[in-house]
């Protein structure tokens, strides 16, 4: 209820007055959570109505006495006589103060112990008849009692010293008390004992017995205080002032340890120790893990730093440091898996089977770094899945398209909030092995900005000589990537940094011809779409002519994505009809395609219907494969300027200027005069003007179209040409021969003029494609003119001059070609 008023207590102890006369009947005031001893002074807050009435009745008396007895249950608001202890203390009200809420605050002093004989129930609360318990005070104190009193004083001083509450004032009070009962009551009133223990001491009438009981209690308190001091000493060195919560938890931990019990914190530490052993880490990683675990044990469990360390330990124990999947080294079985999943792609399959063969002979070999380059939809990513299945390894795929942050590859430092390892480490943790097939898609579409260059961060991971000690910024430990089979995919090699390009083994995956697409559609695409759309083989069938029409008239690509989309559209249309009740088998023929898919999306160019003057067919390579590209040249009266349109890039514009310079330099060879171009503007246009174009391979086609426009000689409509032109008319090699060949086939072209130095690339084109095209090799523009024109340009130009009407001569103006 309150603390003893020490000044009043001293004055009471010093006064040796005899006990005043106490009436036999007094009002009763039940008190809670405290036992009041003789000479004890303390404040009480009175709130219950009957208690207030008891205080008012006492105040109406002469001596202001009332009986103070402790309740057995402090939660009981209306205690009955059976709920109150019989032995209590007669108290005297020293002061009373009325509080604003109607409650009272009184200062009471214990006068004498008394025993309740009976209860008298009155309208204003209970009154009790009582009997004062008299104590016998010995005239002289024997040696045994003196020793007991000295022991009790020393015990009390020791407890107060352990608690840091000892002072000279308290020492004076203890030494001034010569009566055993008063000494026992004073110490009992300040020990903060439990209610039942304090009541037992109060009920002991013999002062010596009471003092002995106090001695036992003090001994117990000294032992508890000593343990508490020991706990405090063990914990004090490990905490700081800012870690009060941690201090309390450490106290609880030490208490549990004394009791032989375990707690959640210890359980967590034991779990981490077990996981670290199970992870089979390298020596360096285990040392770091043990160090971080020790740090975690010294931290507050709810601090932010502890959460960071806990996350780091989770990554360390879950990384596959020594987990490897066993390679499937049955070469024939692996070959069957690759053939079942993909048609063609023999070069890629041979490379994988070679790797497995070497792996079988040398299990310690390092994993190769393969890079598949090809048009979209040719099966680069799905080929990675097939390789993983053929080798019996786990498969991991990440996409690097649009990645601009180096931390995506190397991870973040742990000092940052929300730090994580890079995608490589994340992928290895996800698959749970250290030797998966790891596919990195769209390697050519990475960028760089102020956050670093991700492609440069890949150099260490993709270098077989360095990736045995790959270091992620988050883990900050070496991880062996040499057993990982990295497969990268790209649509074009131009945007791959040269340093990264040098570390990879490049495998070009060309587009598919019409025959290959037919086989793939029949073997893979149609069965897959029938299954995905809920159909059965008996519900739909495709004729080969219909598939060929879909390939040529509804798609125009090197890959297979659009073809599969069109097949999916057909299957959905049929699925709807079946769902509506039409259960007959649906035959997809050429005549029914327009009903299902609409009008054809791709039709042959009108320019191919006949040979024309000033129109040449070139071949272009794009990210989606090869395609035919038409170059138009036209002459009209002007000032001798060169006009270029069709969104041509710088390289392509330079090719056009080189073609014009070649034509001007060889005008006599074509039967023209030097002044024929002085008053004429030349306009070269490449259709599909909304599509940007660039590259040197259209130089030959531009020169042929320009010469055709100058001489009036038409170019054969079934001949396509590719190659870079020089000012002297030499034809230089170009790239993408197979893709351009497939583009020519799709455009219906039968003859291709190819630079002589590309003969080797032509020889690598599969026979089933090469036999459909006639390749003519040339190293100069003269041969191109002889092969591509229907009539020699010189004769055509001479004939045109004879037929042209004579014009009156006009003064010649000096003009020049404007530089671009």
Active site residues: 697, 740
Report strand pairing: 680-685 vs 642-645: parallel
Contact 215, 155 (CB under 8 A): yes
E strands along 213-311, which residues?
none
Cα–Cα distance for residue pair 317/767, rounded to 1 Å: 54
What's the N-to-C CA distance of the chain in angstroms? 101
Residues in the chain: 820
* Alpha carbon distance 651, 59 (integer Å): 113
Decide: 149 and 187 in contact? Cβ < 8 Å: no
Rg (CA), the chain: 51
Q: Tell me if 629 sits within 8 A of 620, measured CB to CB.
A: yes
Asked if residues 736 and 621 have their Cβ atoms less than 8 Å apart, the reply is yes
- Residue of 556, 482, 570, 589 lying closest to 526 (CA atoms): 570
Residue 621 forms beta bridges with which residues? Answer: 626
Return the HEC string of 262-280: CCHHHHHHHHHHHHHHHCC
Distance between CA atoms of residues 188 and 330, nearest Å: 89
d(CA 508, CA 764): 12
Report the binding-site residues for ATP: 374-381
Write out the two tokens for 625. 């494969």
In this structure, the strands spanning 719-721 and 680-685 are: unpaired
CB 463 within 8 A of CB 451: no
The Cα–Cα gap between 216 and 213 comes to 5
Describe the strand order of the beta sheet including 625-637 as a list of residue ranges: 642-645, 680-685, 625-637, 615-622, 719-721, 751-755, 774-778
């Amino acid at each position: 209820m309150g603390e003893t008023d020490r000044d009043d207590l001293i004055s009471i102890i010093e006064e040796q007055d005899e006990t005043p006369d106490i009436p036999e009947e007094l009002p009763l005031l039940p008190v809670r959570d405290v036992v009041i001893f003789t000479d004890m002074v303390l404040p009480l807050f009175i709130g219950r109505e009957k208690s207030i009435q008891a205080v008012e009745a006492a105040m109406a008396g002469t001596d202001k006495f009332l009986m103070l007895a402790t309740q057995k249950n402090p939660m009981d608001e209306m205690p009955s006589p059976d709920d109150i202890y019989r032995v209590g203390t007669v108290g005297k009200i020293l002061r009373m103060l009325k509080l604003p809420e109607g409650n009272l605050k009184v200062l009471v002093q214990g006068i004498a112990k008394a025993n309740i004989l009976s209860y008298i129930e009155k309208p204003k609360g209970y009154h009790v008849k009582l009997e004062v318990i008299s104590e016998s005070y010995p005239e002289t104190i024997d040696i045994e009692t003196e020793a007991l009193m000295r022991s009790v004083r020393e015990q009390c001083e020791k407890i107060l010293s352990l608690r840091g509450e000892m002072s000279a004032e308290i020492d004076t009070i203890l030494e001034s008390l010569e009566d055993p009962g008063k000494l026992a009551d004073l110490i009992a009133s300040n020990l903060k004992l439990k209610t039942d223990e304090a009541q037992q001491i109060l009920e002991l009438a013999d002062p010596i017995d009471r003092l002995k009981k106090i001695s036992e209690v003090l001994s117990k308190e000294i032992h508890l205080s000593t343990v508490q001091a020991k706990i405090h000493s063990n914990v004090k060195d490990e905490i700081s002032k800012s870690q009060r919560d941690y201090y309390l938890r450490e106290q609880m931990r030490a208490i549990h340890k004394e009791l032989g019990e375990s707690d959640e914190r210890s359980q967590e530490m034991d779990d981490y120790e077990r996981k670290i052993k199970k992870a089979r880490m390298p020596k360096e990683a285990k040392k770091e893990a043990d160090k971080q675990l020790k740090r975690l044990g010294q931290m507050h469990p709810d601090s932010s730093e502890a959460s960071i360390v806990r996350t780091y330990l989770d990554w360390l124990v879950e990384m596959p440091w020594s987990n490897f999947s066993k390679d499937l080294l049955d070469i024939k079985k692996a070959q069957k898996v690759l053939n079942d999943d993909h048609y063609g792609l023999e070069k890629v399959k041979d490379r994988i089977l070679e790797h497995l063969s070497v792996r079988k002979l040398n299990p310690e070999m390092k994993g190769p770094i393969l890079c598949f380059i090809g048009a979209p939809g040719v099966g680069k990513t799905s080929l990675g899945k097939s390789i993983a299945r053929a080798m019996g390894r786990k498969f991991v795929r990440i996409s690097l398209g649009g990645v601009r942050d180096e931390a995506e590859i190397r991870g973040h430092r742990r000092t940052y909030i929300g730090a994580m390892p890079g995608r490589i480490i994340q992928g290895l943790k996800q698959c749970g092995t250290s030797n998966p097939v790891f596919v990195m898609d769209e390697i050519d579409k990475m960028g760089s900005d102020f956050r670093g260059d991700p492609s440069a961060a890949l150099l260490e991971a993709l270098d077989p000589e360095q990736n045995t000690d790959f270091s992620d910024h988050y883990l900050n430990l070496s991880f062996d990537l040499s057993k990982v089979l990295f497969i990268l995919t790209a649509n074009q090699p131009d945007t791959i940094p040269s340093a990264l390009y040098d570390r990879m083994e490049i495998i070009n995956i060309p587009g598919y011809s019409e025959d290959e697409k037919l086989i793939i559609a029949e073997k893979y695409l149609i069965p897959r779409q029938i299954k995905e759309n809920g159909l059965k083989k008996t519900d739909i069938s495709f004729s080969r002519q219909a598939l060929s029409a879909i390939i040529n008239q509804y798609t125009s690509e090197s890959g297979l994505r659009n073809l599969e989309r069109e097949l999916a559209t057909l299957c959905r249309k049929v699925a709807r009809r079946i769902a509506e009740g039409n259960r007959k088998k649906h035959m997809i023929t050429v005549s029914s395609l327009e009903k299902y898919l609409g009008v054809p999306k791709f039709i042959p160019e009108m320019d191919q219907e006949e040979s024309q003057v000033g129109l040449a067919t070139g071949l272009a390579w794009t990210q989606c494969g090869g395609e035919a590209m038409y170059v138009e040249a036209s002459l009209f009266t002007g000032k001798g300027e060169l006009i270029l349109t069709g969104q041509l890039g710088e390289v392509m514009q330079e090719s056009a200027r080189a073609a014009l310079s070649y034509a001007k330099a060889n005008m006599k060879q074509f039967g023209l005069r030097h002044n024929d171009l002085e008053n004429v503007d030349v306009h070269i246009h490449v259709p599909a003007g909304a599509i940007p174009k660039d590259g040197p391979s259209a130089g030959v086609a531009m020169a042929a179209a320009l010469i055709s426009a100058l001489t009036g000689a038409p170019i054969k409509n079934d001949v396509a040409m590719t190659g870079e032109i020089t000012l002297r008319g030499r034809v230089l090699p170009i790239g993408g021969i197979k893709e351009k060949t497939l583009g020519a086939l799709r455009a219906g072209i039968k003859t291709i003029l190819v630079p002589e130095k590309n003969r080797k690339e032509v020889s690598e084109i599969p026979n089933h494609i090469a036999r459909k095209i006639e390749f003519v090799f040339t190293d100069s523009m003269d041969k191109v003119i002889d092969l591509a024109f229907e009539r020699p340009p010189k004769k055509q130009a001479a004939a045109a001059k004879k037929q042209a009407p004579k014009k009156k001569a006009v003064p010649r103006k000096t003009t020049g070609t404007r530089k671009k």
